[in-house]
Amino acid sequence: MKEMPANQLDPRVKAVWRINDALWITVIGLFAGFCLAPIMMIPSVGTWPLAVFAIVMVAVYIVWLVVLPPIRYARWRYEVSEDYLDIAKGIIWRKRYTIPFIRVQNTDTRQGPILRMFKLASVTVSTAAKEHEIPGLEFETAEQLRDRAAELARLAREDV
């Protein structure tokens, strides 16, 4: 089997993932709590649904904000060769993408408010079939990777 790609993401991406996940968990938790409110109005139910909900929310926060980011970071790898972009990711369902530059149609960098706060960016490489993203690279590294991938894609099309 082929070795894992050599390059890792910027370590600050773990904080970005934690903030993003905390926001989503909070929004979903508020919605779930709002849906739980009518059940709490029934006098015979008591407070046990609220206790169970609180325990579940604490467990979800611990798993998504403490346990998963370091594992996710360790599993996220990428590498650029002359002919293809190699991406490996995933914790339970591991995915490995080899994207030949001959198939690349577009390269782009993206930077939302949280990534910008940490001076990070994501690089996207688009083919006719799918868009592949390398999240959480230092901004200068992301721009260099985007430009290199675009140049290698141009050279691959010229060779045909």
Q: What is the pLDDT of residue 149?
A: 93
Domain limits, the chain: 8-73, 77-159
pLDDT at residue 150 greater than cutoff 90 = yes
Q: What is the pLDDT of residue 1?
A: 64
Question: Quick one: average pLDDT of 95-121?
Answer: 95
Question: Quick one: average pLDDT of 115-132?
Answer: 94
Q: Are the C-beta atoms of residues 102 and 156 closer than 8 Å to each other?
A: yes
Q: What is the pLDDT of residue 123?
A: 96
Question: Quick one: average pLDDT of 17-31?
Answer: 96
Q: Are the C-beta atoms of residues 120 and 138 closer than 8 Å to each other?
A: yes
Phi/psi of residue 96, each to 5°? -135, 120
What pairing do the DSSP bridges indicate for beta strands 84-89 and 95-100?
antiparallel
Q: How far apart, in whole angstroms, are the C-alpha atoms of residue 138 and residue 69? A: 17
Residues 39-96: pLDDT tens digits?
Answer: 878 878 777 888 899 999 999 999 999 999 999 999 999 999 999 999 999 999 999 9
As a CATH number, domain 77-159 is: 2.30.29.30
pLDDT at residue 154 greater than cutoff 70 = yes
Q: What is the pLDDT of residue 42?
A: 81
- Amino acid in position 35: C
